[in-house]
């Protein structure tokens, strides 16, 4: 099994112990461009640095890459708090965005927490719980008002990351994540949400090969909880068009994400190759209510003129259980 095919759940699960990766706090104030409650705090943490090998050609298969790696016991933004927003990025040392126009690509990054089982991928009930993930589309998460994801003092986080490089020279970058959260009595007033990861492959390997043409791959999950889905976002690879979540029990569509490729110059490399630049999420309070026993179907559509290996079809979201 290649490094790129090393599954994310197992990569996180083996990270039971390890050394801390340096987290560099670079901000500690709310974004002045947004209306924030006085009790809201925002902090950005950089994870890394990591050096990505140079590309050997101009095709996807010739890009430089780290393969899947695990960073153990990464820094959390806060403890005994409630996360309300998460904004991922890939940056250089000086803070500039690192994107494929200058080489680097955030193929994926997944944060997991030990000691608690994942809602969908049980893995023996030991976790890790998959908390947050991002691809190069870098979709920010902003939960609806009144909801938050709890972080306790004993939580241990680790990070699985895979970085790629379109440039013909190595690049050194950081994964930068901006966290917005509440503490104290303000945090206690929020309704807690549970992360929910659904994909068209499997827990043990979230990648698959997409053939040439117009194809759709599906998978189903029978919900083990009842609650309100308040946020969902999608992740596809090159050639992906849409990813959809549907409640087959009720016949209602929960969320459809249509991706855009090359929507801005940062997402087009020096050879004219474009990558996914946006994947607008679904947000609501709630988007939809689901019940224990409901069957949810995930469908990922790819349209490509040639086969693509190791692609993904993932929807992540948050549900307020009740």
Q: Is residue 3 part of a domain?
A: no
Indicate the burial class of 136 (C-beta count within 10 angstroms; 0-12, 13-18, 19 or more).
Answer: buried
Query: How many structural domains does the chain have?
Result: 1
Q: What is the mean pLDDT of residues 52-72?
A: 91
Q: For position 259, what pLDDT does the model report?
A: 97
Q: Is residue 124 part of a domain?
A: yes
Q: Is residue 229 part of a domain?
A: yes
What does DSSP assign to residue 264? S
Q: Is residue 185 part of a domain?
A: yes
Cis preceding linkage at 286, omega within 30: yes
Encode burial over 103-116: b for 16+ CB neighbours within 10 A, e otherwise. Answer: bbbbbbbbbbbbeb
At 237 the three-state DSSP class reads: coil
Q: Is residue 2 part of a domain?
A: no
Q: Is residue 189 part of a domain?
A: yes
Dihedral sign, Cα of residue 224, residue 142, residue 315, residue 287: positive
Q: Is residue 253 part of a domain?
A: yes
Length of the chain: 322
Using an 8 Å Cβ cutoff, are 99 and 275 in contact?
no
Encode burial over 240-277: b for 16+ CB neighbours within 10 A, e otherwise. Answer: bbbbbbbbeeeeeebbbbebebbeeebbbbeeebebbb
How confident is the model over 270-294, as pLDDT tens digits?
989 999 999 999 999 999 999 999 9
Domain with 275, as residue range(s), is 8-321
Q: Is residue 245 part of a domain?
A: yes
pLDDT at residue 193 is higher than 50: yes
How confident is the model over 20-34, as pLDDT tens digits?
343 433 333 333 333
300: phi then psi, degrees, rounded to nearest 5: -110, 125
How confident is the model over 117-176, as pLDDT tens digits?
899 998 766 668 999 999 999 999 999 999 999 999 999 999 999 999 999 999 999 999
């Amino acid at each position: 099994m290649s490094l790129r095919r090393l599954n994310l759940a197992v990569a996180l699960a083996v990270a039971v112990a390890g050394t801390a990766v340096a987290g560099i706090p670079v901000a500690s104030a709310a974004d002045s461009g947004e209306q924030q409650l006085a009790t809201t705090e925002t902090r950005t943490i950089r994870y890394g640095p990591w050096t990505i090998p140079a590309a050997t050609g101009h095709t996807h298969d010739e890009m430089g890459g780290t393969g899947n790696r695990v960073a153990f016991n990464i820094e959390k933004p806060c403890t005994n708090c409630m996360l309300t927003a998460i904004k991922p990025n890939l940056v250089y040392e000086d803070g500039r965005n690192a994107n494929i126009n200058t080489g680097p690509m955030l193929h994926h990054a997944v944060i997991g927490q030990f000691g608690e089982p994942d809602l969908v991928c049980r893995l023996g009930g030991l976790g890790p719980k998959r908390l947050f993930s991002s691809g190069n589309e870098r979709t920010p998460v902003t939960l609806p008002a009144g909801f938050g994801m709890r972080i306790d003092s004993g939580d241990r986080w680790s990070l699985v990351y895979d970085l790629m490089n379109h440039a013909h020279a190595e690049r050194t970058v950081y994964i930068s994540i901006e966290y917005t959260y509440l503490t104290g009595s303000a945090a206690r007033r929020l309704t807690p949400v549970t992360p929910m990861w659904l994909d068209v492959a499997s827990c043990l390997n979230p990648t698959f090969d997409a053939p040439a043409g117009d194809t759709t791959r599906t998978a189903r999950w029978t919900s083990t909880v009842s609650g309100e889905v308040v946020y969902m976002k999608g992740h596809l690879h090159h050639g992906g068009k849409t990813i959809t979540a549907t409640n087959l029990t009720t016949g209602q569509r929960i969320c459809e994400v249509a991706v855009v490729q090359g929507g801005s110059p940062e997402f087009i490399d020096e050879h004219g190759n474009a990558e996914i630049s946006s994947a607008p999420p679904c947000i609501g309070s709630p988007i939809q209510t689901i019940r224990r026993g409901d069957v949810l179907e995930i469908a990922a559509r790819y349209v490509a003129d040639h086969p693509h290996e190791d692609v993904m079809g993932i929807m992540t979201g948050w549900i307020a259980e009740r």
